Chain A
Amino acid sequence: MTLDEHAARSRLRDVAPGFKLLYALPPIAMALWANSVPFSLLVFGLMGASIVLKGGVRPADYLRWLLLPAGFLVIGTAAVAVDMSAHPETFVVSAPLGGANIGVTATGVAMAAHLCFRALASVSCLYFVAFTTPVADLGRSMAAVGVPALFIEMTLLVYRFVFLLFGTASEIATAQRSRLGYAGTAASFRSLASLASNLFVFSARRSEELYVAMECRGYDGAIRVLAPSSGARQPSLAGIALVEAALLCVAIAAHSGRFF
């Protein structure tokens, strides 16, 4: 299931997007600034609980998505932790490699550990937005904070076209695979090139057709859509403010005291 399918099915879908952004975005900044493992864990737990308990996402699905950025996380934090030097005594653990020594220093490990948890906390906040808010709603909330109309329209058009092109691309790929189009490297290159070029020509022609169709219906340069009115109960602003304030207090304590 794709992320926006989760967003469309979410139990928090009808909550106005502004509330959700207000809930999930400030903790990213706090986690980055506080740079403390316990605070990161707190944010990670809070967002995870919100996604699973409030949003109604199955824990297995959430965990599967959490594994996705793990590739970068593993490689990135390992690169931060591991160092090279001519002097083996600077390392906690080291191994000689050629003329130099490869190993980990205490500061490197500490930095990597902080980094790992900070990144996980921020990812969980990003996931809260991604798991509960469909892109169309995000577009509307972008308008509320004064993002130019052309940019929002572009974003929504790209969003629509992505799925159109995905559908076409996967049909072409299936047809190619059923004719052994991806057997061997040379064939793969050939098939992929014809897929990409056909997709491009298709998308150019399709955009032309769409323009003509819209022109016929009185298109004058702006796409106006009605915002759906939902009767869902909205959360209280005070409640969210309270959560954020509490988080901020913990973040300040963690940042200044470093006692966590």
Chain B
Amino acid sequence: MTNLKFRFIAVPLMAAFMLLFGSGDAFAMHIMEGFLPPSWSLFWTAVSLPFFVLGFRSMRKIVADNPRMKLLLAMAGAFAFVLSSLKIPSVTGSCSHPTGVGLGAIMFGPSVMSVLGAIVLLFQALLLAHGGLTTLGANLFSMGIAGPFVSYGIYKLADGMKAPRSMAVFLGAALGDLVTYVVTSLQLAAAFPSATGGFAAALFKFLGIFAVTQVPLAVSEGILTVMVWNAIRSYAGETMFGGATLSGEVK
């Protein structure tokens, strides 16, 4: 009986503490189901849709050119899903989950990532209860579109400016992560402007809250992405990237 009582009190308390002060499970960046008002859900879905359609077209073209890319792309999607469920040590000592946004964008290009991102987010909602169906558009925009496009852009820019390759990868991954977090904060602030200070105050508030987990995470993920990138390149060589070996082959 006392045991039961203990559990009644201790379990919710422990859960509350873990949520508030613990690792702050970094899936927290997925806007949960039902959190956005209907107008904003529709708005972000409408914003994401053109990117998704373009990404899907490019994917269809890739697959038509070389059918074996279908399986490689599906593997890439599954890889992103599994990667996002791993825990990485954060520089502040707690643990977070990587987003895999930067790695995917640098390896496969941002347009394909919007389709793979949609599939991964759908599974995260259905299998892990992170994110949701009505917020799929908003989450897709921050994690599948804004993050990858910025990652890829920065990576190409740094690479074009003759920065060391590892520097380019680090900047791409870390800034892609930061953009994801800023866009999510923007989405939340736009939907829930502060009663006293309006949109700007709300943005400040959400940025401040998520900075606790997201800024260290961006640094950790940048470091991890560089390490993974180097390891894959030393194993598979430069040709692995961009599917050059696979798509260049004559069938």
A interface residue numbers (CB < 8 A to B): 2-4, 25, 28-29, 31-33, 35, 65, 67-76, 79-80, 82-85, 87, 90, 105, 107-108, 111, 115, 118-123, 125-127, 129-130, 135, 138, 148, 150-151, 153-155, 157-162, 164-166, 169, 185, 188-190, 192-201, 203-204, 206-208, 210-211, 214, 219, 221
Contacts and interface: CB of A to CB of B under 8 A. Distances in A.
A160 B20 CA distance: 35
A118 B78 CA distance: 31
Contact of B89 (A83, A153, A188, A211): A188
B92 to A, nearest CB: 10
B9 interface: no
B138 to A, nearest CB: 13
B129 A31 contact: no
B24 interface: yes
Main secondary structure of the interface of A (DSSP, over half): helix
A129 B127 CA distance: 10
B28 A75 contact: yes
10 contacts: A85-B197, A111-B195, A129-B126, A135-B126, A135-B127, A162-B78, A165-B75, A192-B86, A200-B79, A204-B75
A83 B201 contact: yes
A120 B34 contact: yes
A158 B89 contact: no
Interface residues of B, number: 77
Nearest to A169: B82
Nearest to A103: B196
Interface of B: 15-16, 19-20, 24-25, 27-28, 30-35, 37-38, 41, 56, 59-60, 63, 67-68, 70-79, 81-83, 85-86, 88-89, 91, 93, 115-116, 119-120, 122-123, 125-130, 132-134, 188, 192, 194-197, 201, 205-206, 209, 220, 223-224, 227-228, 231-232, 235-236, 240
Given A29-B134, A105-B195, A158-B119, 9 more contacts: A28-B34, A69-B33, A83-B196, A119-B35, A165-B81, A190-B227, A193-B227, A194-B231, A211-B68
